[in-house]
Amino acid sequence: MADRVSFYQTKDGLEGEITCPLCLNVFKDPKILACGHIYCRDPCLSGLATQGNDEDATCPECRKISHIRNGDIGSFPTAFHIRRLIDLHDSMHEVRLADLSDQETPKHCQTHSGQELAIYCHECEEVLCRDCLIATTTHNGHQYDYIAKAAIRLKKVLNESVEPAKSLQKPLFQALIKIEGTKADILRQQLLIGKDIDTEVDRQVQKLTEKRRNLHSKLSSITTQKTTNVVAREQMLSKTHIELSECICTVEDAVEKLNDLDVVFRMKKLEKQIKQLTVKAEQMPLNPVTSADTYLCTATPDSVALSSKQFYLCSGKQALASKCTFQKEGIRNAWVGQEIRMLIKVCDSKGVDCVDEQTISVELLCLRDVSMSLLSTTCTRPGHYLVQFTPKNRGRHILVIKVNGFHILGSPRDVFIQMPPQKLNVPISLIPRLKHPSGLTCLDGYLLVCENEGDQILMYDKNFHRVKILAKDLNKPNNVAIDRDSNIYVTTTGDNLLHKLDRDGQHLLSTTPNRDQQLEFPHGICVVKSNLVCVCDSQHHKIMVYDTNLNLKSSKSTIGKRGSKPGQFQLPLGITPNDASGEVFIADSDNHRIQVFDKKIFNVKPPSPLTPIRAISEMGNTPGKLQQPISIQTYAEYLYVTDSGNNRVSVFTQTGQFVSTFGEGYLSQPEGITIDQDGFVYVCSHLKQVFVF
């Protein structure tokens, strides 16, 4: 690590630990090189990376070379221990200043009004005025001095009392340095071991790729051989069928159309021909395909194991589990609490049911909490086993079915279990102590929350624990969206701008303020068709359309205008697409409705009027009505709307039928909403919380 500044060379011993040795300023986004030295990401490490080779960075102190993964200087590990020291340093100074500023020193005696405090009694340890000595006998015979002289004596006592603490300060600080050095060593080892892991995994991937190529080659060879034999029989049967059909037509035409004399002369020839073709057709196999032709068999079973999955090219000479199948009922679009039924059929290579009892095992793995459930089976008749279960957890699952220890066809299978919106009534968790959460979305399994009054974007894991501050110094971030390349788009209401960040939260682009194109209170945001960034310009009552470089889409950049008629907006606050149906949903807040448009609106040149496909709901507080809808989110066949005026979330089908509401009694003026890949619903409440349903 970098040489540390001595404790006695600084006003505060922590300052040496939090100072970058290159720029001599407090670290900004400290990064650890492979050698263990720490520098600011910008401008220190960025400057190193731009000097020649962008694949390697040379340490200015030890001259060791650190590889830059993918040319991204941000790929180096973050020195979180340095960040904690910076926070500790700042908090210590804040506490000391607060302690000094909170103490108010009196100037006059409380007993004798108007008399200044000028004398200190050493026996009583009290500050006195002149009248305290003259008018009372309490301090007779005591030793006392004027304030100035007493302060000199007391300062000496304080200096002596602090010496034992000073003697402990340096050892404690050295122990802290040692601990931080140990952390740095651990992180350095992480880098080295990580490289070893990458090397080993790459080797295994290469080996498996070669294995896959060989198996596919073998499969192709078997397929070619089987196909050649079948095609030869097909050609022979086809030729015989054509000849027989033509001869039948000839005989029938002769009987119907020839005169009697022609029939007599040609009768023997036609009779001979039809008899020959009939004999030939009778000799043709009427069941030309056998089980040996159907199954792609090899002499011995070949297999390749990938995690828990196994795939087989089987010999077909005995009853193997890879020939068994299962029929699925209720797995597609399955719901929590819904009974799922599966019928497992155990058969040999020819498809004949196995009469003997088999060893059946069925497992259901929930990927979110890695919990495993063992499911029971019931034999309904020889070779047939029934599995019935009712899932309790939502999200992605893996269904594993084995016969005699081997996976059957269709296993492992991915199963997605959804939670019916009618059951989303009580929150299962809470993310508290936020500074006005306004918008949120999901990125690679993590939750991103815009903290409007905190000027930052926070990242949480699937267990609702904060991971880090993804981006900060944003001027009141309001809403966020992700494109297919994991770039992040953020609207900020403090400066009325649209920003583009990379997946690590580093700033890439921002819109340029322009009097004719300036956003005013930009709110909802979404990415449509993978290349259009749509922003609700709420105060101008329209939708602005940008490309992914934050340039306006020429003449088609503005959609809609102010009004209450169909196709007009009054404070649009939310927008979301449904790529499957090709529809776009817009929360028309002050008109208390959701307007649904076809994506063709992005190709309409203004001032052509907008024509919505339909409108969902109207103003009211009864179930199915809306007041001030803000954010919307599509999920499965449903549309989730934060009904801010009614302090709830309303759920409709995407065709407009009301389904249910939830959040009453918990939510207060809900704003942002998003749903993760496991079906958990996150809702921003105005009470500085995010509820999880």
Please work out, in degrees rounded to the nearest 5, the angle formed at the alpha carbon of residue 154 by the alpha carbons of 149 and 160: 135
Q: What's the pLDDT band for 450 if we cut at 50, 70, 90?
A: very high
Q: What's the pLDDT band for 571 if we cut at 50, 70, 90?
A: very high
Separation in Å, CA 82 to CA 38, 177, 372: 9, 11, 40
Q: What's the pLDDT band for 312 if we cut at 50, 70, 90?
A: very low
Dihedral sign of CA atoms 617, 621, 627, 630 in order: negative
Give CA–CA dist 678/416, Å, rounded: 8
Q: What's the pLDDT band for 141 if we cut at 50, 70, 90?
A: confident
Instruction: Give yes or no for residue 69 having a pLDDT over 80.
Output: no
Asked if 451 and 436 touch (Cβ cutoff 8 Å), the reply is yes
- For the stretch 529-564, pLDDT in tens is 778 899 999 999 999 999 889 888 765 678 888 999
Q: DSSP of 343-395, one letter per residue?
A: EEE-B-TTSPBP-S---EEEEEEETTTTEEEEEPEEEEETTEEEEEE---S-E
438: part of which helix (H) or strand (E)? Answer: strand 437-443
Can you give the pTM of this predicted structure? 0.54
Q: Is the peptide bond before 432 cis (omega within 30 degrees of 0)?
A: no
Give CA–CA dist 663/424, Å, rounded: 8
Q: Is 107 buried (19+), middle (13-18) or exposed (0-12) by CB count in 10 A?
A: exposed
Give CA–CA dist 479/672, Å, rounded: 8
Give CA–CA dist 223/219, Å, rounded: 6
Q: What's the pLDDT band for 90 if we cut at 50, 70, 90?
A: confident
Give CA–CA dist 208/499, Å, rounded: 42
E-strand spans in 93-237?
119-121, 126-128, 144-146
Instruction: Give yes or no for residue 287 having a pLDDT over 80.
Output: no
Give CA–CA dist 156/167, Å, rounded: 17
- For the stretch 39-58, pLDDT in tens is 888 778 877 665 545 677 78
The percent of residues in the chain predicted with pLDDT above 90, rounded, is 24
With a CB cutoff of 8 Å and minimum separation 6, the contacts of 625 are 592, 617, 618, 619, 646
Give CA–CA dist 610/615, Å, rounded: 13
Instruction: Give yes or no for residue 232 having a pLDDT over 50.
Output: yes
Q: What pLDDT does residue 95 have?
A: 58
> Within the chain, how many helices (H) and strands (E) appear?
7, 43
3-state SS of 243-276 is: HHHHHHHHHHHHHHHCCHHHHHHHHHHHHHHHHH
Instruction: Give yes or no for residue 306 having a pLDDT over 50.
Output: no
Q: What pLDDT does residue 602 have?
A: 78
Instruction: Give yes or no for residue 97 having a pLDDT over 70.
Output: no
Higher pLDDT, 253 or 287: 253
Give CA–CA dist 325/427, Å, rounded: 40
Instruction: Give yes or no for residue 307 having a pLDDT over 80.
Output: no
Q: What's the pLDDT band for 96 if we cut at 50, 70, 90?
A: low
For residue 344, give the nearest of 331, 356, 330, 328 by alpha carbon.
328
Q: What pLDDT does residue 289 have?
A: 61
Q: What's the pLDDT band for 573 if we cut at 50, 70, 90?
A: very high
Mean pLDDT calculated for residue range 218-234: 79
Mean pLDDT of the chain: 81
Residues 221, 224, 229, 235, Cα dihedral to 10°: -170
- For the stretch 145-169, pLDDT in tens is 888 888 888 888 888 888 888 788 7
Q: What is the largest CA-CA distance in the chain?
A: 167
The percent of residues in the chain predicted with pLDDT above 70, rounded, is 87
Separation in Å, CA 554 to CA 63, 558, 605: 51, 9, 10
Separation in Å, CA 201 to CA 108, 208, 670: 78, 10, 46
Q: DSSP of 103-132, one letter per residue?
A: PPPP-B-SSSTTPBP-EEETTTTEEE-HHH
Instruction: Give yes or no for residue 438 having a pLDDT over 70.
Output: yes
- For the stretch 576-599, pLDDT in tens is 998 888 899 999 999 999 999 988
- For the stretch 474-503, pLDDT in tens is 999 999 999 988 999 999 999 999 999 999
Q: What pLDDT does residue 2 have?
A: 35
